[in-house]
Amino acid sequence: MKICKKCVQPDTRPGIFFNQDGICGACIWENTKKNIDWDLREKELKKISEWAQKSTERFEVAAWLSFCKLVLHPFAVCIAVFYIFKVELYPATVMIAAASLPVAGNIFMVAQHYNVAPKRASAAIFLSTVLSIFTVSFTVAWVSNIN
Ligand SMILES: [Zn+2]
């Protein structure tokens, strides 16, 4: 039976290997760790963390703007046409369905209202366009049921 010259780990352990000096993989790695620049690694980790926080924040802003455009806007129009202006059913339906469309200009206006940078507004326009596949279908189906 072969054993590691440093830590006496035997070769009966699954997956173990030894270098030409009879040192096991775990001991080689233990030695390698001493030569790692941990300060540099910490800087790299902080960079990654900052990047992740920024993209999370960007996603939250985009999600909120998309929600405003795709859900709050048609809902507000719905209240306005039915309860405030008492619009007839057919034009009301058209107005609600139109309000549920992901119009980039409207998203941009909402973004401006919340002082969101133009770059983030583009993310919101993209996200809301993707989500509108579901929300527009839902709104049209729901409005058709009222009719
Ligand atoms: Zn060892």
Crossing angle of the two packed helices 89-99 and 118-146, in degrees rounded to 10: 150
Q: How many domains does the chain have?
A: 1
Is position 2 within any domain? no
* C-alpha 23 – ligand 1 centre gap (Å): 5
Residue 13 lies in a domain: no
Evaluate whether residue 42 is within a structural domain. Answer: no
Assigned domain for 44 exists: no
Is 52 part of any domain? no
* Residue 141: domain span: 59-146
Give 1 Cα–ligand 1 centroid separation in angstroms. 14
Q: How close is the Cα of 35 to the center of ligand 1, in Å? A: 18
Helix (H) or strand (E) holding 25: helix 25-34
Provide block-wise average pLDDT over 10 residues at a time, the chain (147 residues): 93 93 94 92 92 79 82 89 88 86 78 77 80 81 74
Beta-bridged to residue 18, according to DSSP, are 24
Residue 69 lies in a domain: yes
Report the pLDDT value the prediction gives residue 147, as an integer from 0 to 100. 58
Q: How far is the CA of 101 from the centre of ligand 1 (A)?
A: 65
CA of 37 to the centre of ligand 1 (A): 23
How many angstroms separate the Cα of 3 from the Cα of each of 14, 20, 25, 73, 139? 13, 13, 12, 72, 71
pLDDT of residue 20: 94
Q: How far is the CA of 90 from the centre of ligand 1 (A)?
A: 80
24 Cα–ligand 1 center, Å: 4
In a domain, 139, yes or no: yes
